[in-house]
Structure 1
Amino acid sequence: MNEWHEGPCIGFDLETTGIDTATARIVTASAVLLAADGSILNQREWLIDPGIEIPEAATAVHGVTTEQARAEGVPAAQGVAEILNLLQFASQQAPVVAFNAAYDFSVLHTEALRYDLVPFIPGNVIDPFILDKQMDRFRKGKRTLEAACEHYGVRLENAHTSFADAVACVGVARAVVNKYPQLQTDPSELHGQQIRWAREQAQSFQDYLRKSNPQAVVDGAWPIKDTD
């Protein structure tokens, strides 16, 4: 599968109630199977009632209100179970692409434990956030999905909707890998490399922060953050 970028890929994204992976609840989720030409082969989307109030700051990002989630969303335990089941099956068919995967999969892991469900343990995740930082270390500017799309010429419409972000992150991943052929390796091998790169990137950032804050800690665990 060294030419994984030329075959089907699954884009995955969550929109949630907040930025803390230990407390954030899933509000929307999308898993999109994309062909090599970018066409959509299959897709699944969820609107979930997280069981708590959705903060206004989160609604301002993804557009889903507490009232909408309660009226139209599926119960959280049901939605999380469906996401876990789909990923468990789909990840055996194609690599799963997620931008800043440590956020999405950490939230999903915590949600699984919250509802006494069997967590999904990723093994062939492609994270263009990690790949881009590794291959183009000294580029200035933001490293958000929007910035990456602009840099690599990937179209992104309706940013911060889980569907749009899931589709765009696959485009960015393919663009990064086409630019840097050394990334054209088996997804499971690349997964292992990203574990190391994420740890090294976090250590480098932590060293930088400690110049002004000696107590700064940056968690470099990937694709699921440390829960201890």
Structure 2
Amino acid sequence: MSAWWLDEWAALDLETTGLDVETDRIVTAALARVLRGVPVETRTWLADAGQKDIPLEAVKVHGITSKVAHRHGRPVDEVVGALARELAELPYENIPLVVANAPFDLTLLTREHERTGRSWPQGHHSHRIFVLDPLLLDWKLDQGRDGRRRLVDLCEHYDVVHAGPHRADADAAAAAAVTYQIVSQYPELRQMSLAEVHERQVGWAVERAAARQRRLRKNDPTAVVDGRWPLIPRQEVAR
């Protein structure tokens, strides 16, 4: 088995118009090539979704206004196309993709792809991207630790310098660095292949969702937490 943790990785982060993966759009994107937790090359994009304005709540998070996006951004379809071409190369090079909170970023990206007639390659078993999600890895491997587990919290815990939360390039770099620290500290991950780590995370995501759902149902008996990972397939509508 190859020492995949020493080889090149990719890291993806999106900043968006909001938190609804079905309707919100990409504002900025970053895709970094990473070696041992350190970016060696990073591509960034500013996207313009046309008539879709950026709500003030989102501007407060990432600082990109509608005026800036409309004036300086590339059409979002072009950004999605560029990302699709970059991501499509990863399986052929056996490069894993680091994404913090993968079900959000990858589901939203998949919906953007669908709007342009594309599909994200994760759905094709013959052309599969193996994903590393530091939020999920940390939850499973260090369940006894108290406190919040946002990316910024993991950076503090794993002694990773974060250049700027909610800046796509900085978040991608931070996610890669945290993931490398996790893999370095837990030999059980290094004993697995990339495919095995990916498949274990599928099961761990179900465990995490069930644990969160149990907590939420103490106050709301109808609470449901989706445990699908690394992305949430579009719900088929029965006819």
The equivalent of 2:211 in structure 1 is 204
Moved more, 207-216 or 146-155: 207-216
1:27-176 matches, within 5 Å, as 27-36=27-36, 38=38, 40-51=39-50, 52-93=52-93, 94-121=95-122, 123-176=129-182
Shift in Å, 1:2: 4.9
Moved more, 75-84 or 148-157: 75-84
Amino acid at match of 1:222: W
Structure 1 distance, partners of 2:113, 2:194, is 25
Task: Could you tell me which runs of 5 or more consecutive residues in structure 2 were left unpaired when the two chains were aligned.
Answer: 123-127
Structure 1 distance, partners of 2:103, 2:144, is 22
Task: Could you tell me which runs of 5 or more consecutive residues in structure 1 were left unpaired when the two chains were aligned.
Answer: none
Structure 1 distance, partners of 2:104, 2:78, is 21
Shift in Å, 1:82: 1.0
Amino acid at match of 1:126: L
Structure 1 distance, partners of 2:73, 2:91, is 25
Cα distance change of structure 1 residues 156 and 44 upon mapping to structure 2, 3 Å threshold = same
Q: Across the two proteins, how many residue pairs are aligned to each other? A: 227
Structure 1 distance, partners of 2:168, 2:80, is 15
Structure 2 distance, partners of 1:92, 1:153, is 33
- Whether contact under 8 Å (2:36, 2:180) holds in the other structure is no
Amino acid at match of 1:151: H
User: Which contiguous aligned blocks of 4+ residues in structure 1 show a shift greater than 6 angstroms?
Assistant: none
1:92 aligns to what SS in structure 2?
helix
- Whether contact under 8 Å (1:123, 1:191) holds in the other structure is no
1:77 aligns to what SS in structure 2?
helix
1:15 aligns to what SS in structure 2?
strand
Give TM-score scaled by structure 2 length.
Answer: 0.91
Structure 1 distance, partners of 2:155, 2:58, is 22
What do the CA deviations read for 1:19-74 (whole angstroms, capped 9, x no partner)? Answer: 11112200111111112262x33221111002200011111111111011111111
Structure 1 distance, partners of 2:2, 2:144, is 27
Amino acid at match of 2:188: Q
Give TM-score scaled by structure 1 length.
Answer: 0.95
Moved more, 179-188 or 89-98: 89-98
- Whether contact under 8 Å (1:123, 1:188) holds in the other structure is no
What do the CA deviations read for 1:155-176 (whole angstroms, capped 9, x no partner)? Answer: 1011110000001101100111
Q: Please, what is the CA RMSD of the aligned residues?
A: 1.4
Shift in Å, 1:9: 1.2
2:92 aligns to what SS in structure 1?
coil
What do the CA deviations read for 1:55-109 (whole angstroms, capped 9, x no partner)? Answer: 1111111111101111111111111111111111134321111111111100001
- Whether contact under 8 Å (2:162, 2:174) holds in the other structure is yes
Amino acid at match of 2:25: R
Shift in Å, 1:150: 0.2
- Whether contact under 8 Å (1:13, 1:31) holds in the other structure is yes
- Larger RCO: Structure 1 or Structure 2 (Cα < 8 Å, ≥ 6 residues apart)? 1
Identity %, equivalent residues: 37
